[in-house]
Amino acid sequence: MSKLNHLEGIRGIAALIVIFAHFLWGFYPVLHVTGNLPFEPGITMFNVLYSGHFAVCMFFVLSGFVLSYKFFQTGNIQFIKDSAIKRYVRLVVPVFISIFISYIIMKLGWIYNLQVSVLNKSSWMDAWWKFEPSLKTMLTDMIFLRSNYNNVLWTIKYEIYGAFMVFSFIALFHDFKYRRFLYVVLIAVLYDTYYLGFILGMMLCDLKVTTIKINLKNNFINIIIFFIGVYFVSYPAPTNINLDVTMYSWIKISWVEYPSIFWHIVGSTLMLFAVINSTWLEKFFSLNPFIYLGKVSFSIYLLHIPVIGSISSYVFLKLVNTNTYFQSFMVSFLLSLFIIFIIAHFFQKWIDEGSIKLSNYLLSKVSKSVTIPTSNKKKVIEGKTVKSI
């Protein structure tokens, strides 16, 4: 049985965009704001290439789709029980290791991001690793999933709570005749939060796989839908930008407190809708380099911050006094990218896969004591399976 490789590819590209976003926030923050450049990519669709916020929203939509896929594919509620048991361990073991790595880096004094922030006035570089590391704070971050040691970990709570929202919804309403009406209710309640991504992802999976079976196979129409989604996800995330003179003025919405969350999730959903319906887009995102990116996506997501704060910043500081700023950045960026992928490759093999094995082991131990009524329905759609992050 083949995996849904195109979803893996999308996840991999999204993880790479997060890396680009953080390198530019750290070394070229001007690209994220307006008023300082003749050409301002931050208020054009080009910002999609380095919009970490959009990439995170895509993660959430993908999670909603992927975590519900096996149930909607087969009608077997056992998949939900199994996933609920495994989910926490599968996520937090790699997270704990990434926190420990950052703790060691700080203890050894290998932190240079603050020196970079003094040089280039990057408020993002200046916002983290500004405390004395201790065993207590490290363990506190692990237990409560805080992001003091690794600032990308703010998303993990959403991944965990969002996953259990999906599991709970399916467990409670999988046989409910009007469950699609409940999607509308949840959207109305959660429209201004990141949890909207999980609901829309789950709803899209439900509508695609079960009775309605959305099946828009016109590649040209799907390409148009995809780029409409790209337009929405390029909505500027910074809140201090005057959108009245930009291409986004007509989608300003006063009734949403966080419009970038809303538009980035809606746009991600449209993009995912187009990909799962278009043979062209499916083949493109199923290319082997993208599949590999997806395989190591969680690892590179967890590891790139420790690298930026230590190696990237150190190399940049060593070079910038004798080379141009751009040359120093490019050498630091390319070297760091190489190091991130090398470390992520082995992290995925030893830590990430290890967490999956551990979660499966725990499932085998506790599954006999946990029972959820199973549905008699069974569907097999195109013989495909998918791995969740």
Two tokens at 137?
């704070």
Handedness of CA 78, 81, 86, 91 (dihedral sign): positive
303, 18 contact by CB (below 8 A): no
Confidence of residue 388 (pLDDT cuts 50, 70, 90): very low
The one-character DSSP state at 3 is E
193-246 residue pLDDT tens: 999 999 999 999 999 988 666 777 889 999 999 999 999 999 998 766 778 878
How would you write 313-325 as a 3-class SS string? HHHHHHHHCCCCH
| Tens digits of residue pLDDT in 69-120 | 999 999 999 999 999 999 999 999 999 999 999 999 999 999 999 999 999 9
Note the pLDDT of residue 42.
76
Per-residue confidence (pLDDT) for residue 385, from 0 to 100: 46
The pLDDT of residue 242 is: 77
Locate all alpha helices (DSSP H) within the chain, ordered by sequence: 5-27, 52-74, 78-107, 113-120, 135-144, 154-173, 179-190, 195-209, 219-233, 259-277, 279-285, 288-295, 297-307, 313-320, 325-347, 353-366
Q: Which of 161, 151, 249 is nearest to 197 (CA)?
A: 161
> Which residues face 2 on adjacent strands?
384
Q: Over the stretch 14-51, which tens digit does the pLDDT of each residue have?
A: 999 999 999 999 999 888 765 555 567 778 899 999 99
Q: Where are the alpha helices (DSSP H) in 247-382?
A: 259-277, 279-285, 288-295, 297-307, 313-320, 325-347, 353-366
pLDDT higher than threshold 50 for residue 311: yes
Q: What is the pLDDT of residues 344-375, one digit of tens each?
A: 999 999 999 999 999 999 998 886 665 555 44
Greater pLDDT, 380 or 85: 85
Phi, psi torsion values for 385, nearest 5 degrees? -130, 165
Query: Which run of H or E residues covers position 2?
Result: strand 2-3
Exposure of 327 in the CB half-sphere (CA atoms within 13 A):
7
pLDDT tens digits along 97-110: 999 999 999 999 99
Q: What is the reported pTM?
A: 0.92
How does residue 383 score in pLDDT terms, banded at 50, 70 and 90? very low
User: CB within 8 A of 348, min separation 6: which ones?
Assistant: 295, 296, 298, 299
Query: What average pLDDT is seen over the chain?
Result: 91
- Dist. CA 373–CA 178, nearest whole Å: 19
Look at residue 142 and tell me whether its pLDDT is greater than 70.
Answer: yes
Question: Do you know the residue count of the chain?
Answer: 389
Residue 358: how many other CB atoms lie within 10 Å: 14
Rounded CA gap, 17 and 23, in Å? 10
What are phi and psi for residue 20, nearest 5 degrees? -55, -45
| Pairwise CA distance, residues 81 & 171, whole Å | 8
2-3/384-385 β-pairing:
parallel
Query: Distance between CA atoms of 343 and 304, rounded to whole angstroms?
Result: 10
**Residue 157 has which token pair?**
């709570």
pLDDT, position 38: 53
